[in-house]
Amino acid sequence: MLFVVSACADESTDGDGEGDSSSIEVDVGLISFITGSGAGYGEAITNGIKLANEEVKEEGNVDINLIIEDSAGEQEQALSAAQKLMNSDNVSVLIGPTLSNEMNVVGPEADLNGVPTIGTSTTAVGIPQIGDYIFRNSIPESQAIPASIEAAVEKYDVETVAMLYGNDDVFTQSGFDTMEKVAKDMGLEILTIETFQRDQSDYNAQLTKIKDVDPDLILASALYNEGAVIMNQARRIGIDVPFVGGNGFNSPEVIEIAGDASEGLIVATPWFAGVDNPKVQQFTEKYEEEFDLEPDQFAAQAYDALHLLADAIEKAGSDDRDAIRDALAETSGFEGVLGEMSFDEDGDIVMEPIVLTIKDGKFQLFE
Ligand code: 1QQ
C-alpha cells in the first residue's frame, strides 16, 4: 500500500507564497523507511531532509516540493513508491530509498527512467555502479569498516574474531564481505561465521557457538533492530568481548534498545556531533530545536544530500532530469556537516571515517 506521509500543502510551491518567481521549482520524491523495525533510520533521514529544505527555501534560489513516501524497508513497497513518484508525480529527482536492499531494486528502474537518484544511507558495494543516474553521499562500508576493525584490533590486541551477519539483505551481506576481507587481510583468525535473518528475535544458537569458540572480538553486520537484540542476548549469556558493528549500528536506536549491552560497541562513521565546526554546531542546534532530538549520522547525511542537491539544481538552472544529473555528477568540494564531499566517476563519495564507541550511553570518540 502506498501513502503520502507528508506531502504537506505548506511544502508545495503552489500558492503558499514561498515560491519566489525567480526560484527554480522542482518536485523531488523522498522514499524513506518510516514505519516498521528500522523506522529510526527513516525518521532521522526525513527530519534531515526537511530541515535542509527549509534552509534552501529561505535562500530562495531553489524551491523544492518534497513528496514523501514510506517504504517500510520493503523492496516491493520501495519500488511501487518509486514508480508512483517517477511516473505519476513526475518528480525530477529521487532521494532514497533508505536500504541498499531497496536501492538494489529501485536503482535500476530509476536509472532506466533517467531519474537522478541520491541514496543518503545506502552503503553496500555497487550502489552507484547501478548506473549513471545513481549517486550516494553515504560513506560505503568498504571505506568505513577497515577503520573500525583496525582501531579495535590495535586497542584490544585482537588475534581471533567471530562473525555474525544477516544473509538475507544486500547491505548486511555486503558489510560481512568487507569485514571478512579486512579480517583476512589483517591476518586475524576467523573462528566461526554465523548467520541470521531479518526480524529474527532469538540468537541463542548463534551466540552459544560464538561463546564456545571464545573470540577476542565479534564482527557484526546487522540493521539496528537485530544488532541491538544480538548485543543484548550476547551479554546475557556472558559474552563480554567487544563488538565491531557496521553502518546499521550507527543509530542511537542501538542504545535505546540494547541499553547497557551496547556499551563498548565500536563503529566507523563520517558523523560526530562533537567536532569543533560551526556548521556542525549550527545544524545540531537547529535540529534539536526543531525535532527535540539530537541528529544522528542518518539525519546529517540526509541534510547534506538535500543541500548538495539544491546546489546541483541551481547549477542545472532547471528541473530537467538530465541537467540535474549532469550537475550532480560534477559535485566537487561540497562543504557539508560531514565535511568536504566530491563524487568520484561512479557517483560514489570518498570520505575519511571517524571511529566511535558507545560509552556512558553515548557515541564518543574511540581512543
Ligand atoms: C544500507 C545501510 C543501512 C544501515 C541503512 C539504514 O547502510 O542498507 O546500505
The model's confidence at residue 349, banded by pLDDT at 50, 70 and 90, is: confident
pLDDT for 158 equals: 98
175 and 234 together in one domain: yes
Q: What share of the chain has pLDDT > 70, as a percent?
A: 94
With a pLDDT cut of 90, the percent of the chain lying above it is: 88
Q: Are residues 335 and 240 in the same domain?
A: no
Ligand 1 site, residue 122, Cβ cutoff 6 A? yes
Q: Average pLDDT in the 234-242 region?
A: 98
Q: How far, in Å, is the centroid of ligand 1 from the Cα of 22?
A: 37
Q: Is 41 in the pocket of ligand 1 (CB under 6 A)?
A: yes
Measured distance CA(260)–CA(24) in Å, rounded: 49
Give pLDDT, residue 78. 98
Average pLDDT over residues 165-172: 98
In a domain, 160, yes or no: yes
pLDDT digits (tens, 9 = 90+) for 5-64: 444 444 444 444 444 568 999 999 999 999 999 999 999 999 999 999 999 999 999 999
Task: Give the residue among 85, 113, 87 at the shortest CA–CA distance from 97.
Answer: 85
Neighbours of 358 (CB within 10 A): 25
Q: Is residue 348 included in any domain, yes or no?
A: no
- pLDDT bracket for residue 124 (50, 70, 90): very high
178 vs 148: CA distance, rounded Å: 12
Do 134 and 172 reside in the same domain of the chain?
A: no
Grid cell in block for residue 94: 529521487
Give domain status of residue 349, yes or no.
no
Query: Is residue 352 predicted with pLDDT exceeding 90?
Result: no
Mutation probe of ligand 1 site: the residue of 168, 223, 251, 269 with most atoms within 8 A of C-beta: 223
100 lines ligand 1 (CB under 6 A): yes
Q: Average pLDDT in the 116-134 region?
A: 97
Q: Which residue range forms the structural domain that includes residue 112?
A: 9-139+276-341
Instruction: Based on the fold, state whether residues 288 and 245 are members of the same structural domain.
Output: no
Distance (Å, whole) CA 254 – CA 239: 18
For range 351-362, the mean pLDDT: 95
Segment 283-298 mean pLDDT: 97
| Boundary-marking domain end, from 235, 251, 269 | 269
360 belongs to a structural domain:
no
pLDDT recorded at residue 119 = 98
Give the pLDDT score at 21.
Answer: 64
Q: Are residues 180 and 251 in the same domain?
A: yes
Asked whether residue 164 falls in the same domain as residue 15, the answer is no
pLDDT for residue 8: 42
Is the separation of the CB atoms in 111 and 162 below 8 Å?
A: no
Give the residue from 266, 241, 301 showing the smallest Cα distance to 146: 266
Q: Assess whether pLDDT exceeds 90 at residue 244.
A: yes
Residue 68 dihedral angles phi and psi, to the nearest 5°:
-105, 130
> Is residue 224 in contact with ligand 1, taking CB distance under 6 Å?
no
249 lines ligand 1 (CB under 6 A): no
Last residue of a domain, one of 269, 287, 318: 269
**Residue 130 near ligand 1, beta carbon < 6 Å:** no
Q: What is the pLDDT of residue 24?
A: 97
CA of 128 to the centre of ligand 1 (A): 14
209 and 64 within one domain: no
pLDDT digits over 316-344, tens only? Answer: 999 999 999 999 999 988 999 999 888 88
Look at residue 63 in the predicted model and tell me its pLDDT: 98
**Same structural domain for residues 96 and 208?**
no
Q: Ligand 1 in contact with 343 (CB < 6 A)?
A: no
Task: Specify the pLDDT at position 28.
Answer: 98
Q: Is residue 159 domain-shared with residue 246, that is, in the same domain?
A: yes
Q: What does the CA dihedral 337, 343, 348, 352 come to, rounded to 10 degrees?
A: -50
Residue 250 Cβ contacting ligand 1 at under 6 Å: no
Instruction: State whether 135 and 283 are in the same domain.
Output: yes
Give strand pairing partners of 117: 94, 134
CA angle (117 as vertex; 53, 305 as ends), nearest 5: 35
- Asked if the structure places residue 70 within a domain, the reply is yes
Tell me if 20 is assigned to some domain.
yes
Asked if the structure places residue 185 within a domain, the reply is yes
Q: In whole angstroms, how far apart are CA 140 and each of 158, 205, 237, 324?
A: 24, 30, 33, 23
Same domain, 30 and 151: no
Residue nearest to atom 4 of ligand 1 (CA): 248
Residue 6: count other Cβ atoms within 10 Å of its Cβ. Answer: 15
pLDDT at 11 (0 to 100): 44
Across the chain, what does the average pLDDT equal?
94
For ligand 1, mutation pick of 32, 172, 247 (most atoms within 8 Å of CB): 247
Residues 255 and 283 in one domain: no
Place of cell 586475524: 188
User: Would you state the pLDDT for residue 20?
Assistant: 52
Name the amino acid, one letter, at 13. Answer: T
Residue 228 belongs to a domain with what CATH number?
Answer: 3.40.50.2300
Q: Closest by alpha carbon to 125, among 354, 346, 353, 356?
A: 346
Residue 330 located in a structural domain:
yes
Mean pLDDT of the 167-185 span:
98
Q: For ligand 1, what atom is nearest to the CA of residue 101?
A: 8
Report whether residue 248 contacts ligand 1, using a CB cutoff of 6 Å: yes
At residue 45, the pLDDT reads 98
Q: Could you tell which of 103, 118, 121, 267 is best to mutate to test the pocket of ligand 1, judged by most ligand atoms within 8 Å of the CB?
A: 121
> What is the number of structural domains in the chain?
2
What pLDDT is stored for residue 22 in this prediction? Answer: 84
pLDDT in tens, 137-163: 999 999 999 999 999 999 999 999 999
